[in-house]
Amino acid sequence: MNTTSSENSTSPLVQLQPHDEFNRQLESNVHPPTWTNPTPSQPYHLVVIGAGTAGLVTAAGAAGLGARVALVERELMGGDCLNVGCVPSKGMISAARIVATMKEAASFGIEVPENPVVDFAAVMQRMRRLRAEISPADSAQRFSDLGVDVYLGQGSFAGDDRVTVTRNDGSTSELQFRKAVVATGARAAAPPIDGLETVEYLTNENLFSLTELPPWFGVIGSGPIGAEMAQVFARLGSEVVLFERGPNILGREDPEAAAIVQKEFERDGINLMLNSKDMKVSRCEDDRIRVAVKRDGDPYDITVDKLLVAVGRAPNTDGLNLAAVNVEFGKTGVSVNDHLQTTNPKIYAAGDICSQYKFTHAADFQARIVIQNALFATGPFGKKKSSDLIIPWATYTSPEVAHVGLYEKDAAKQSIEIDTYVQHFADVDRAILEGNPEGFVKVLTRKGTDQILGATIVAENAGDLISEITLAMTHGLGLSKIGSTIHPYPTVADAIRKLGDQYNRTKLTPRNEKLLGLLQRWNVGS
């Protein structure tokens, strides 16, 4: 079913299913079927192509500073984050966590049904309702009210100072610009798996359209998306099989942190097919999907009802005509310098289209750099650098894994000598009382100092806890400063303060201890 009427030609490429009241509400905000593109106001100080996080922040910020701004979007405003990423996935995660909490209630002395009944359709309806309620913040009308000219259609460079916007009905608008920003993001890409093209597999772009819980749910890839959704569907009642080429899940993360999450996955009943190689996919006669793999050399043949492919991203460069304006791009996206300037000095880029950090918050802060550099900086001076950003991230499994800065393996590769401080939650009162004693906070400092180089947290609310360490790193505060900051008791965050205490105790050398003893005896004697 189309998301717009046949009389209208603004239908986005990403279709919203099911076409219920909540998706209609979402669509009316982020891709209004009756939207009329404005008459261009020439020339624009800034034309932004792509209305995901990077594009929205750039457009709103620049317009707020008095610039004439045009914002072009061919699909759904809000990008992946609102429509097929952060928002819907966290809506499902919150429901799955309620199920897990109910199953653990007996350990708190609370009797509830041993196997809670999950209404998957209602879970997904709740997600769609909340997504629709959030969507006005990213809506075409809101940005128009902010002074941004919003154009729905395919943006394409027609020259060094022009962008053409083409609607589905063939009508066009020509926008002249002084500077332009490419913020078109990235999309799911199919990995080279034998037979994958013969089956109807899921990606993040259609996963959230499901209305029935698949009895057997397969996931290829154990990165953030794959890991989060494998655990969600397992907790909501699917038999989940997670296929991973490597020996562990979350291969990018600290191995000790990933091991704790992996243990929880096993408790959730997820069938972990690690070291899966030579994968072949085929369609069964009943439209189920057969996955044949070799695990540690042994053959396995598994049939699932739905298969989520959660590996691989491709930059959205199609249709932009970048080559015509001398903007270099490739399989990893648009090439930019440290100021987020492309190989065409009048054109900038921000977000997933050009960044190694595929996170909403990274796109947000890159957009702020683009506003400064594109509109206000002149010459080599006054320009902000993307390399100055200290970017944390989190994977929202249970427990969560959050990280910022260097890993121990990074320090070793760069020949940086470090000290490592670890505080286990098993020794933190609030974590014990909450029933979450597993996990830890690990902080790396430059050897012999309290300068924080990186940190990993594995805990139920690790994504919230990491911000204290990110703040310290951003503003040059050392571990000793954290140790001298009063934290409320009892809180899980007190684990971070305890790391400061650990560092301070290293300063109590035998010589210092002897001097303190002499001072104490002198004070007593006086």
Tens of each residue's pLDDT in the chain, 526 residues: 233 333 334 566 677 999 999 999 999 999 999 999 999 978 999 999 999 999 999 999 999 999 999 999 999 999 999 999 999 999 999 999 999 999 999 999 999 887 889 999 999 999 999 999 999 999 999 999 999 999 999 999 999 999 999 998 899 999 999 999 999 999 999 899 999 999 999 999 999 999 999 999 999 999 999 999 999 999 999 999 999 999 999 999 999 999 999 999 999 999 999 999 999 999 999 999 999 999 988 999 999 999 999 998 999 999 999 999 999 999 999 999 999 999 999 999 999 999 999 999 999 999 999 999 999 876 655 789 999 999 999 999 999 999 999 999 999 999 999 999 999 999 999 999 999 999 999 999 999 999 999 999 999 999 999 999 999 999 999 999 999 999 999 999 999 999 999 999 998 766 665 665 666 666 665 5
**Two structure tokens written together for 409:** 């393996």
Residue 42 pLDDT: 82
Q: Give the C-alpha separation, 340 to 358, whole Å.
A: 15
Q: Give the C-alpha separation, 344 to 337, whole Å.
A: 11
**Two structure tokens written together for 134:** 């959030």
Question: For 297-335, what is the HEC assignment?
Answer: CEEEEEEECEEEECCCEEECCCCCCHHHHCCCEECCEEC
DSSP character string of 417-437: -EEEEEEEGGG-HHHHHTT--
Q: What architecture is domain 196-311?
A: 3-Layer(bba) Sandwich (3.50)
Residue 509 pLDDT: 63
Residues 6+ apart with CB under 8 A from 117: none
Right CATH number for 399-506 from 3.30.390.30, 2.60.40.10, 3.40.190.290, 3.40.50.720?
3.30.390.30
Q: Are 417 and 447 in contact (CB under 8 A)?
A: yes
Q: Where are the alpha helices (DSSP H) in 38-185?
A: 53-64, 79-84, 86-103, 120-134, 140-145
Strands 148-152 and 154-159: unpaired
Q: Give the C-alpha separation, 75 to 83, whole Å.
A: 10
Q: Give the C-alpha separation, 238 to 230, whole Å.
A: 9
**Two structure tokens written together for 22:** 């909540």
Residue 312 pLDDT: 87
Q: Give the C-alpha separation, 185 to 58, whole Å.
A: 14
Residue 228 in marked binding region: yes
User: Any idea where the domains of the chain sit in the sequence?
Assistant: 21-85+127-188+314-375, 196-311, 399-506
Residue 223 in marked binding region: yes
Residue 218 in marked binding region: no
Query: Which CATH fold topology does 21-85+127-188+314-375 show?
Result: FAD/NAD(P)-binding domain (3.50.50)
Residue 90 in marked binding region: yes
Name the CA dihedral angle for 422, 423, 425, 427, rounded to a multiple of 10 degrees. 130
Which residues are paired to 401 by β-bridges?
395, 458
Residue 8 pLDDT: 39
Residues 6+ apart with CB under 8 A from 479: 421, 443, 445, 450, 452, 472, 499, 500, 503
Q: Give the C-alpha separation, 13 to 192, whole Å.
A: 24
Minimal CA–CA distance to 31: which of 150, 125, 146, 147? 150
Q: Give the C-alpha separation, 180 to 69, whole Å.
A: 10
Residue 277 in marked binding region: no
Q: Give the C-alpha separation, 328 to 47, whole Å.
A: 19
Q: Give the C-alpha separation, 482 to 494, whole Å.
A: 10
Residue 106 in marked binding region: no
Residue 91 in marked binding region: no
Name the CA dihedral angle for 248, 252, 254, 258, rounded to a multiple of 10 degrees. -40
* Separation of first and last alpha carbons in the chain: 89
Q: Give the C-alpha separation, 464 to 45, whole Å.
A: 37
**Two structure tokens written together for 453:** 């180089």
Strand, coil or helix: 6? coil
Which residues are paired to 348 by β-bridges?
181, 341
Q: Are 365 and 384 in contact (CB under 8 A)?
A: no
Q: What angle do CA 229, 233, 239 make, to 5 degrees?
A: 125
Amino acid at 302: I
Strands (E), 450-497: 452-459
Residue 221 in marked binding region: yes
Minimal CA–CA distance to 87: which of 57, 58, 112, 52? 52
Residue 225 in marked binding region: yes
Residue 222 in marked binding region: yes
**How many residues appear in the chain?**
526
Residue 401 pLDDT: 98
Residue 333 in marked binding region: no
Evaluate whether 21-85+127-188+314-375 and 196-311 have a shared fold.
yes
Helix axes 224-236, 86-103, angle to 10 degrees: 40
